[in-house]
Structure 1
């Protein structure tokens, strides 16, 4: 059976001795814009491509403003600072996530609280969140507190796992009831829509990533999405060392951060963005072929987009029947030069966050034992 699967994947990605999980695709104006950037000599954090990339991402996502960062982790850190998270506050998130989500929380000296995910999204569950808050939280003076730790619960950070949107309307409702700011970790979900609206534009702030393995890439890079233009101005100020504009003086009016994306990276992003819709259509076609193929494979289920959503299918995922089957699948596919990988190790099991508060994480642990990502690159033969 595993031989049949690896052969099918190799047919999807022909002429490759080794099929990677997700390789970048450069099929447009990347070299042209990079050369233009080099010729201009503006290769650092000032230049026309930085402004252009921010404007184009804002237009694409229909955010009011977008602010670039050097990577998605920096963008998450900044988003939490702007949401008012301070040292020893608590931030609710999911244990089924890439470690950047939790690292950003830790940079502030805040504490993650891990809540279960939904079976249809692999993302933070509004029902599980409400259940935990009912029993463990109270709102006093417009501030949410953890009744056990007495810490303030300032923010909630759902992550759109593999590009599949979480149940945003329900999460927003719960967060509003408990006076908690919603910050979307939309790092994996550029081009994904929830009820027709782009992910990252529902909460106070949304965060995108343009790492080398993402749907489009700037090499490394991140983006903050805002519906509040004043908050976006503050973000731009803080991410550029909090420097007050002046023709020659160096004046800084608060603690700032060197989170600026270089112009040369933004040039790459502008070229990539021109082909984003084409890449997503390509990846969705691949997902459809996987979905049809796995209908006929016993004990392996292809994970499809949630109802009412359009996923970018950043990374396709299959569910094996148990942990043993997952390990056998990983061993066979990687031995036969098809890259697959398990879902991330759960954050509450890492040494750094093992003492964090959690709920039962029933679905989270179920996914951890079964999820495998399979090759998901743009298929260049179809472009």
Structure 2
């Protein structure tokens, strides 16, 4: 009896020991690596991303963690450059582990192109007017410059009056953008009177001042020319000149742009009175109704001040300049060096000139800062 009792106790003890060893073994068995997002186990994440927009795929941004038991491991991944409209696969790994977390990013383009430019035009009855007469640029984040793919219905100019027409563009993804333009068709006149002198204009008394206002109603004294013209680096090898102060500030801005990977080419700078006269007369002879909106009468051109430049990202002027990398840079930084876009969009009624994203005027850092802060033209500022 006693022996049987000992045997039973021994068997129970042995069984308990086996259970304890089994529990210890199970607890010591290595747990698998798991990926979690916000605490929930995940193996894959699927995202849709708009082309051109910022996307942070870091583990921190995704709230992605790699855990084994209570231990958290460092995650490694390579983020691709999203250059195409397709689905990208990004793998997230832990060193020396086979487990992989996958993120699929479908890159799409659902954003329409941006249209900008002059929306008001004045033409003569019977004058041809087509898509190539527009000062409108189209830019798409994916396709880039689409200015040569604008569409507009045929314009009938046989009758004088007011017209509105839609200009549109499609990108390669099928997104459509449109802008409404207003056209004034004037009656054809048998004679045209162009201004022959500066009568009726205010002759500026301080042409040497870098902040002097020069426009259709404010003219330079006949024969005046700057006496401190300085050759500048135009980035194109062409010879250009500006007043000394403007030249120094141009060089500061040019160098700062180069440091940011932006090359600003100078297409036009100082012009003599004789040169501006010849230029204006040629424009008036070929386009008498519209030339006054893009060419200045002699003695009213800022180029004659030696304080104005026409800039580009190559060797010619472009209506899409404002939406280019150069345009965005100079819009953001130009005022810091005393330069302003003189003829901005939708202010033709104030400046007297169509939108010219390439025409920049040096007015000094102090005035440029004020104009930039208030979004003002020189006409608005001096009329206050």
TM-score over 0.5 for the alignment? no
Q: Relative contact order, CA 8 A, sep 6+: which one is greater?
A: 1
Larger radius of gyration: 2
Q: TM-score, normalization: structure 2?
A: 0.19
Q: Could you tell me the TM-score, scaled by structure 1's length? A: 0.19
Greater share of residues in strand: 2
Identify, as 1 or 2, the structure richer in helix: 1
